[in-house]
Structure 1
Amino acid sequence: MNRPLATGSVQEFRRDRLLDVLIPTRDRPAELAVTLAGLAAQEGVPGFGVVVSDQSDDPPGFAHPAAATMVRALRHRGHPVLLTRRLPRRGLAEHRAYLLAASTARYVLCLDDDVWLAPGAVHRLVTAIEELGCGFVGNGVHGLSYLDDVRPETHRHYREWDGPPVPERIRPGSPEWDRAQIHSAANLLHVTAGLDLTPESWRAYRVSWIGGCVLYDRAKLVDAGGFDFWRRLPPNHQGEDVAAQLSVLASHGGAGVLPSGAYHLESPTTVTDRAVEAWQLL
């Protein structure tokens, strides 16, 4: 029988680590277990922390035996894990702001609860942001059910950075906004296949925004306002990650990283009321 799972405390968790992973979740115990399993298999960034904030209608996802086992596996491998509940729900941006406030790490990885990370993904992202010195780097997520759906018309949106990323002011309707098309379906897998990368090499490319797996320099994210704009939004919004990234791009720059080790679980969304696009309202 599964024994009680210690949740930890914010006071004990907040330490000056290199990296914390921030995971918002709701009504997804199976997906959360897979996401945590991906983190438990990461190497090359010892001692990173993990915060899970649950807004489930029923018992929290981390109480499920599979997810609880992965929490224990992470702790056994030296990763502090903080398990929290954030109710009542006040919207996605408020949830992310709460998670960000739980961390004092140099870098924070905003990871959705339906993304499995392949081994090596976290180390590659940390290496990239340290070398590039920008506000964020990210892995666009692959939808493996689209593996045979090749869309060459989207590949033209892939443009590599020749040097460190520079700040960019990107707005909807601009040519730069269309860069996001490279992140749908399995486009990144098809682009990566044409690059002939060695196992240790990676490429930084220009983005407008990235969903699901974004590593921020925490100080630069906070400098750009973080997710504090949640107070200006109704609870039924989406696109809060886009709004934050546009602000960081404008002040500190950002990049996508190939190869991507992020794989979307392709589960139905648990946020069904999304009447407002945060980046439009803001």
Structure 2
Amino acid sequence: MPLNSKKDSQSVRTRIGKGVRLILGLVTVAASVYFINVNGALAEAAVKIPAPAIDVAADPNISPQTAVFAGGCFWGIQGVFQHTKGVLNAVSGYAGGEKETADYRSVSTGKTGHAESVLITYDPSQISYGKLLQIYFSVAHDPTQLNKQYPDTGTQYRSAIFYRDANQKRIAEQYISQLDAAKVYPKKIVTQLNPLTAYYPAESYHQDYATLHPESGYISQFDLPKIVNLKRLFPDQYREDPVLVGSQPMVKTKVPVEK
């Protein structure tokens, strides 16, 4: 049904928001630390981990910054960070490959070098890069799975951090070493660290997918539990209403964001 007014659009968004909150509530009631996937195996579990020993202090004088994370299907990563306080925008897309292959059909072959990723624009006066990393490693994905995340397999689903500068690289490297040394996971972290040269937003139908399709079996089984875990383990960083793509203008960054 076409939307005939701004009021209609706001009404639809309100209904979607209420639906998401209802389903999240049901997932919370039914959830435990572990979730069962379609094969009957244990699906992704949140891991309580320490904060980074090295981080950048909050600074109200710094302009919005960006971070790019990959870890399985971008729907879940985007959904988690859209519910994170201090995040101004979270856009699903592709990083690691060339512009000519930055489309879903090509990336799905696993042969393009791209990873399904999320470009996060955040306010460093509200949340630090290190805190984003803590959420990424704890609830957004399992960093010990090589080229896969439940139930998706292929290099396009690899765990990867695309760092913008030497400082982000240093913080991420030292945090991975810290977590491995603390043995917070049963296996070694396999997250790749790669320089970010360009970022390509995904097709429009991928944006806000977890919010717009909470009834999806995939979303309810693999992504909504991540948001529940965000609320449970990071209550101070959790926001009830997600910040959706386009709700705030894209912030200019040093990294080229290509259409």
Question: Structure 1-normalised TM-score?
Answer: 0.26
